[in-house]
Structure 1
Amino acid sequence: MRGKEQPVLSIIVPVYNVEKYIRDCLDSILAQSFQEFEVILIDDGSSDQSGAICDLYAEKDERIHVVHKENGGLSSARNTGLDLAKGLYVGFVDSDDWISATMYEHLLQAVRTEDADIAACRWVEEEHIQKFKSVHTYTWNSEEVLRHFFLRQITESVCDKVFAVEMWRNVRFPEGEINEDTITLFSLLLKCRRAVFVDTEEYYYRAREGSITKSGYSRKFRIVESHLRKMREKVLDRLPSLKKYVDYFLSVHYYCLLLSVLKSGEFHTFRDDYRYYRKRFAEVFPAFMWRGTGKEKDRVIGLALRYSPVCLIRPLLRR
């Protein structure tokens, strides 16, 4: 390392009740081909052995720093890590995921070579891992990277990326909300001069509850729609040429919100939410039909959501 005061990279890992997975996560970080980093483990009030495991790793490696705090949620833990980070660059790993041995070598090489603010790679769910044989990189300006983001060609996660630490000046994750990655990453991309995409699978995640499509609908998902509106307003104000692309991004999220309400088993409780999302979906419906989600079935369901009553949509979801 350059020295204890200035590591090249700060890796922030929020930890909460993941005693089954945390060793795999930390071992994958310590096995990196790039070694000039610090690891900031934020034990967010774990009630299992996660915090103790973090302490054991810190005893063995001086680059690992552990903070034990009361439970405040993912955003709170990440923000705590950001306040402590000393690196020139910042990365995030969720504590039930793991990374390839070359992820940070590839991302840092790309971000430095291209003088970029952000570097991203592919992430893949554990059962779909198929490593690419070569590493191709693509460099985008600020408008181009937002277009790729809205087309869902880079993920909405902060975990498969590295960021110049300056990008986080005056930017933090919203606490007490879901969808924190999406709105935060959008804010970072909006101020990004240049980004580089490393087209290889490097970040491996386990499917987990909490996303719109993975968990049942509840009122907490209403904040997603608020985030979407704010994003669209900012894009139309600053980059109106991206209207088609941000409308597509919104259409996919409204589609997911509608399906989540339908699958919740509490449709009558959230009927007003459904009606509202359906109205918003109608406004961006042409953008959804332009690209869909990549599956033809979703275009059919999208048409039903736009024009059919609920009683005719539900049979489609069971097929």
Structure 2
Amino acid sequence: MIVDLFAGPGGWDVGATRLGLDVTGIERDHAACETRRAAGLRTVEGDVRAYGPADFPDATDMIGSPPCQPFSVGGKGRGRAALDTVLELAQRLAERQGIGEALAGFDDERTGLVLEPLRWALEAMDAGRPYRTILLEQVPTVLPVWEALGELLRVEGYSVATGRLSSEEYGVPQTRVRAFLAASLDGEARLPQPTHHRYRKGVTEVQEVFGLKPWISMADAIGWGMTARPALTVAVGTAAGGPDPSCVGGSGARATLYGERDAGRWIDCTRIVDADNLPAYRGGRRDTIRLSVQDAAILQSFPADHPFRGSRTKQFEQIGNAVPCLLAEHVIAAAFGLPLSSGQIAEAA
């Protein structure tokens, strides 16, 4: 059984269940937990910090995606400013020193959550039941943390691989880049090899060559939008501000979308959607390119019928924060030595 820390609406878990693996996710956001339950994903609603390996004695492997907002380039950057402190605390944690007081000193309490997977891993080792496989994901700015954690895990006997993976290279119709760590006690750790071409700016047609398939465009995935490239990263909107959660990316990304549209590399959305999702026009120009919840979910490679719960903003927040399901499946399959499932991106109805 796999324990998933910071499980969200199930990005990792959908990927794992497609591979026939058993997962239990810990998540404290109530709306995300409701989504998980509606999707049939085993869920513990609570704070990861309140639990440990002893609470999940059947778990043989661990995956996790700590909150990315403190480290995201779209956030306030408090985590990025605190990277040196985080790395120091990781070393102290590996030396089995207490770091509770130091964690309390962060301006954003979520910053220290990036160290929770290490705490869990060390507690499992000290209990004589180390996790066979550890898989972690975060925004690219956290790669130095994963590399530091990797060095600490190597000392404990793990093989470790770290690196950045670009989503469109794994069949996800989105150019989202994430930092991953894969650690294994059972063999050489590795990250998955790409199955699709990486998006290249200005290239509109790509043929299958060297065993790599063409990237999947936004229009191919959801039936409208950019025809020559994947979508940009789905933005995370919150009550505290940030990009419009119904858009792809921020203002710069929207300018890219408009550029693709104006260049004729675009299919208009002809599906009937609710009024809140209709494209807005002002002076004959579309001012906002909006996605439905289902559109955004498909761009993250969730099943088209994944039952997101909560307010519309909470649903977009869950989608934007999740690891793309197909990317997660590739990472898990590589780590566990499993063949990929036959799951495909499902178009919106």
**TM-score w.r.t. length of structure 1:** 0.25
- TM-score w.r.t. length of structure 2: 0.23
More helix, by proportion: 1
